[in-house]
Structure 1
């Protein structure tokens, strides 16, 4: 009596079938069908191998591989499946086993539904055709699924399994993200620490010292079945890579960023990183955790490769200082335990040639100069009384903006009515209600009016944008002044928000003076 191995497989594509009459694909029904078939043939069932929730392209199925190992060891003579596609949808595996390994091992492969039997050498071509069709099916399904996913991504719908740290998936809509306030507060803390001059490693150390759970640990605490593919033994701790990834993530300003990685092939589990230009970004898809202006400042500092000190904190002017002559950045160095200096980078790296001069300046002295300049700049350029008067003036312009909007609305209605009139004229001409000459005269009249109204609407739109721009600039200036007017001492926040960059000139050896130019953000 022949010994037979029964193999069953169920994948998601089978589980999600909507038609109840297609329940025959279920694991239990496969087992019942194949058991009856084996008993009718008077075959002795050696074992039933079953893989649940595995694709037919997956060569790493546990039960599938256990069965192949038993086949190689000669524990049975027949493998029985419902169809060839239950065994595999990969043409390479069809050729490898059905037409090579099984022949070597003395294994007969039989299916119930599509009549495959390797004992019959005449149906080899049909087996190969089945293999191709099954593989094409997988490829088509893969492309269809990807198309649906891309459409969702382009409309700002989240398709990931897990929300990024700081967010949770909406229980009523898995394609939408909601704020996770507990984690979001950690994200804000990370950005604040970085803006205060702390490096990414220093931030990681601070978070670990305060026993704040890392993103992977946090998901575990919340009961999510999340596996970090790059996790190590220290996966519960923060590291500088995780911190930097958070600092660069646009998701925190409300943008849905997806399609950053993709599978290399529908037949492979390997994924590749996608160039940023091909990422799918949908703006304002969910509530922001970080203000856009603060986020942009962080990106600028990261891009400028600002380096922290030995204690993990950058100096207050990091990324802001340039040599006035060669325009290169100025690096920090210590000439003694008491004082820290900045000097021209080109001077430091150019060796004996000395392509520029030192431009050396003490950081504490520069802090005093900049602090004084900030106060003077606020007092002279942005006098509070003048600003308040300007704000009142701008407020009155809000009414003018509203009036402009009403005029634009009226013009658009007039444009629409002229276009409708032209359509009606054309129909009247076709019906013979008006002559060709009458049509041309009225058509020209309505067309010219439409063009005139369109031009006026465009001019009003420009005027409205100008008023709104002025209004925004005033609001921004008022906010900055209120924020820093009563500040005591110079801070990282003041330097980052008020100053674009600072140029330092070489000291005049005769007078001891040096030129320092500050380029403001407002």
Structure 2
């Protein structure tokens, strides 16, 4: 297509907000305005592209998209809009089209009212600011609308037209929800099925089979004024999402819940589910369809339901109740069928779902289904009998256990939280020091990147852990046992002889399975923690007879196990000694293989002895009394060494003072020895400083420690010298001749030291030392500034 025949695109846009500003921005007026401009300026082949009712922040507009298609095809030569705000209110996207896409496609862009014409680039300097202001207008409008909606919601008023399934609104009262009995009965049925252990998918299939109208179809048929969704494939096909949404809604408890979704950015239409602290909840605002007990039970049962898999294996009634004590995952149900057709008790069992997992492996935590069912039945039976026998004692015991557990959990979590926050602060300081060393050239880039990656990873993990601990601490402080509900539950199922599935769901919250000890032997033991609904992991107090019987049984089992181990060990030792004697005899006879094997046996024995000695030392160190004794012994040794060093230092000082005195008297031998000692001290100091410098370059923590130590030393040294100087000045001002003489000598010394330090700094800067160079330039700048200030004062 020839360039002269390309389209002149006149683009018009109108949003709902623009309609409030009057007729001047209407689509008709925009078309007439742009046509007149095009004709007056000689543009031909005019074609309109109009978007009516679309926001400027949304670039997914039908006419706009068609215009872009025409531009991509090369059929558009000029795009004309009334002003920049008609084109869009997102300055980044507007800038992309006008500054990048249109010039690339050789398209001229004109915004009439703003005086923007891409044919005259020099006149378009202010265009980016126009785009920013247009976006600000859209952002400000969005804020105001959200503020209006928030204010209404804070007053408990609904701003959405959606009505929960099971309710309807009267035309004269749009704020109050009224129960629709026909649909409310379906809601009650959904919650009851969830309480019975059915998952959302199974509930949806049940409702579909019973030909129950889905919520949108029911609203369209019975309450068309509240119907917002009319597009659905089948009015009787329920899905798990709809069922889950109904089970989540707290409106069925009689509460009004507002602000459930929010949009973080006005530029996008994407919404997110609001956090719990962002919700506005108003309690008991309308008639409830279900009560709190059923709602809570439904939520508990939903957590237990395992996701449906493409498998024909039947689920066990304990599925979803058993959890691994180590990794926290659910235990998976195993229902093996041997090829011989025989049925064994061990065929049905549970084990950790992460057992032999490729990415998050865990041990088996294997337990037979019959065993865990028996344990749950016995625990439930014993607790029920205890409650019925003495309810008052049960309440006291439960409260005591609960308070003790809460205190323990809270103390552990708070301690870990405090340590995590302290470590976060340390990491912040380390990263600052690391960055300073890198910018000053003290740390190579490779080490800087490696350390920064390590610190950043540790900080990310700490941030996540701190959030978890804060949530756990808050949950512990707000959690409470519900004793009355559990007592009512026990009285409801008094004198039961078997644990039915409804009873199991009512009584048991979860069961935590620990890894078994003792292997596959008759000494196998396994800890099982049973958590009851409303009261948690309640441990029954044992009577004196029960404690005595339990201790007696444990002692018997321990003695039995020890006896078996002694017999096994004795048998193994005899067999090992016999084999060793045979190898020794062959080695003494000159067999080279036997000699090598016997030598290896002796070396292994020596290694075992060393390991045993090390283990015994560790065991002794784990004994508090032994450790305290060793620490006291070490402390006394350190004190003796410190006193010895002090005596040696004192002798050296005395000897050095005498040497200085001899040197001052002119003793050449003393002068030579004194100079040698000073040279040795300087060399030792230089080596020590070099070691500190190398270590600081590779260890940011040590570098930070050195910096803090030097800062503190300089602070104390300066304060001490200042105090001495002030005392000397005071004495000199009082007329003390000796003090005046010392003050004059100090001033001369300071002048010499300043000149010496300045010359050293200058020489180091000229030799290429970056730190000295920075200091030198700073000193020169200060001197120049002082010089000009002095000249200004003299001139004035």
Structure 1 residue aligned with 2:281: 282
Q: Secondary structure of 2:157's partner?
A: coil
Judged with a 3 Å threshold, the aligned counterparts in structure 2 of structure 1 residues 220 and 122 are, in CA distance, closer, same or farther, namely farther
Indicate if the aligned counterparts of 1:347 and 1:358 stay in contact, CA closer than 8 A: no
Q: 1:66-145 to 2 correspondence within 5 Å? A: 66-73=66-73, 75=75, 77-145=77-145
Structure 1 residue aligned with 2:213: 213
Structure-2 separation of matches of 1:503 and 1:117: 73
Q: Secondary structure of 1:133's partner?
A: helix
Judged with a 3 Å threshold, the aligned counterparts in structure 2 of structure 1 residues 314 and 244 are, in CA distance, closer, same or farther, namely farther
Aligned-residue offset at 1:292: 1.0
Aligned-residue offset at 1:215: 3.6
Aligned-residue offset at 1:164: 3.9
Q: Secondary structure of 2:125's partner?
A: helix
Indicate if the aligned counterparts of 2:263 and 2:271 stay in contact, CA closer than 8 A: yes
Structure-2 separation of matches of 1:72 and 1:330: 58
Structure-2 separation of matches of 1:72 and 1:348: 53
Structure 1 residue aligned with 2:370: 360
Structure-1 separation of matches of 2:367 and 2:104: 80
Judged with a 3 Å threshold, the aligned counterparts in structure 2 of structure 1 residues 149 and 502 are, in CA distance, closer, same or farther, namely same
- 1:226 maps onto 2:224 in alignment: no
Aligned-residue offset at 1:87: 1.3
Structure-2 separation of matches of 1:344 and 1:372: 23
- 1:11 maps onto 2:15 in alignment: yes
Structure-2 separation of matches of 1:75 and 1:168: 54
- 1:243 maps onto 2:243 in alignment: yes
Structure-2 separation of matches of 1:348 and 1:65: 50
Structure 1 residue aligned with 2:574: none
Aligned-residue offset at 1:54: 0.7
Q: Secondary structure of 2:117's partner?
A: coil
Indicate if the aligned counterparts of 2:194 and 2:302 stay in contact, CA closer than 8 A: no
Q: Secondary structure of 1:238's partner?
A: coil
Structure-1 separation of matches of 2:354 and 2:43: 85
Q: 1:308-323 to 2 correspondence within 5 Å? A: none
Judged with a 3 Å threshold, the aligned counterparts in structure 2 of structure 1 residues 72 and 491 are, in CA distance, closer, same or farther, namely same
Query: Which structure has greater strand proportion?
Result: 1
Judged with a 3 Å threshold, the aligned counterparts in structure 2 of structure 1 residues 121 and 361 are, in CA distance, closer, same or farther, namely closer
Report Cα offsets for 1:89-117 as digits up to 9, x if no partner.
Answer: 22233323333433344443333433333
Structure-2 separation of matches of 1:74 and 1:500: 68
Decide which structure has the larger Cα Rg and report it.
2
Indicate if the aligned counterparts of 2:384 and 2:490 stay in contact, CA closer than 8 A: no
Q: Secondary structure of 1:47's partner?
A: strand
Structure-2 separation of matches of 1:357 and 1:102: 70
Report Cα offsets for 1:395-438 as digits up to 9, x if no partner.
Answer: xxxxxxxxxxxxxxxxxxxxxxxxxxxxxxxxxxxxxxxxxxxx
Aligned-residue offset at 1:81: 2.4
Aligned-residue offset at 1:218: 4.3
Q: 1:2-81 to 2 correspondence within 5 Å? A: 4-15=8-19, 17=20, 22-41=22-41, 43-44=43-44, 46-73=46-73, 75=75, 77-81=77-81
Structure-1 separation of matches of 2:108 and 2:390: 90
Indicate if the aligned counterparts of 2:256 and 2:281 stay in contact, CA closer than 8 A: yes
Structure-2 separation of matches of 1:32 and 1:483: 80
Judged with a 3 Å threshold, the aligned counterparts in structure 2 of structure 1 residues 35 and 174 are, in CA distance, closer, same or farther, namely farther
Indicate if the aligned counterparts of 2:349 and 2:366 stay in contact, CA closer than 8 A: no
Structure 1 residue aligned with 2:187: 187
Aligned-residue offset at 1:149: 3.3
Aligned-residue offset at 1:205: 1.6
Q: Secondary structure of 1:50's partner?
A: strand
The higher-RCO structure (CA 8 Å, 6+ apart) is: 1
Structure 2 residue aligned with 1:165: 165
Structure-2 separation of matches of 1:43 and 1:518: 81
Judged with a 3 Å threshold, the aligned counterparts in structure 2 of structure 1 residues 341 and 257 are, in CA distance, closer, same or farther, namely farther
Which TM-score applies when normalising by structure 1? Answer: 0.60
Q: 1:306-345 to 2 correspondence within 5 Å? A: none
Aligned-residue offset at 1:320: 6.9
Indicate if the aligned counterparts of 1:334 and 1:341 stay in contact, CA closer than 8 A: yes
Judged with a 3 Å threshold, the aligned counterparts in structure 2 of structure 1 residues 31 and 381 are, in CA distance, closer, same or farther, namely farther
Judged with a 3 Å threshold, the aligned counterparts in structure 2 of structure 1 residues 520 and 43 are, in CA distance, closer, same or farther, namely closer
Structure 1 spans left out of the alignment, 5+ residues: 383-471, 510-516
Structure-2 separation of matches of 1:150 and 1:322: 42
Aligned-residue offset at 1:348: 13
Judged with a 3 Å threshold, the aligned counterparts in structure 2 of structure 1 residues 298 and 12 are, in CA distance, closer, same or farther, namely same
Judged with a 3 Å threshold, the aligned counterparts in structure 2 of structure 1 residues 329 and 89 are, in CA distance, closer, same or farther, namely closer
Q: 1:392-471 to 2 correspondence within 5 Å? A: none
Structure-2 separation of matches of 1:347 and 1:13: 56
Indicate if the aligned counterparts of 1:316 and 1:492 stay in contact, CA closer than 8 A: yes
Aligned-residue offset at 1:306: 6.1
Aligned-residue offset at 1:56: 1.0
Which TM-score applies when normalising by structure 2? Answer: 0.42
Report Cα offsets for 1:457-488 as digits up to 9, x if no partner.
Answer: xxxxxxxxxxxxxxx999x7999799889x9x
Q: Secondary structure of 2:9's partner?
A: strand
Q: Secondary structure of 1:69's partner?
A: helix
Of 291-300 and 41-50, more deviation after overlay is shown by 41-50
Structure 1 residue aligned with 2:202: 202
Q: How many residues align?
A: 419
Structure 2 spans left out of the alignment, 5+ residues: 337-341, 357-362, 392-481, 514-521, 523-529, 536-796
Query: Which structure has greater helix proportion?
Result: 2
Report Cα offsets for 1:217-267 as digits up to 9, x if no partner.
Answer: 545656544388xx8x78962233432333233333234445454445322
Q: Secondary structure of 1:203's partner?
A: helix
Structure-2 separation of matches of 1:42 and 1:173: 59
Structure-2 separation of matches of 1:98 and 1:518: 65
Structure-1 separation of matches of 2:314 and 2:335: 15
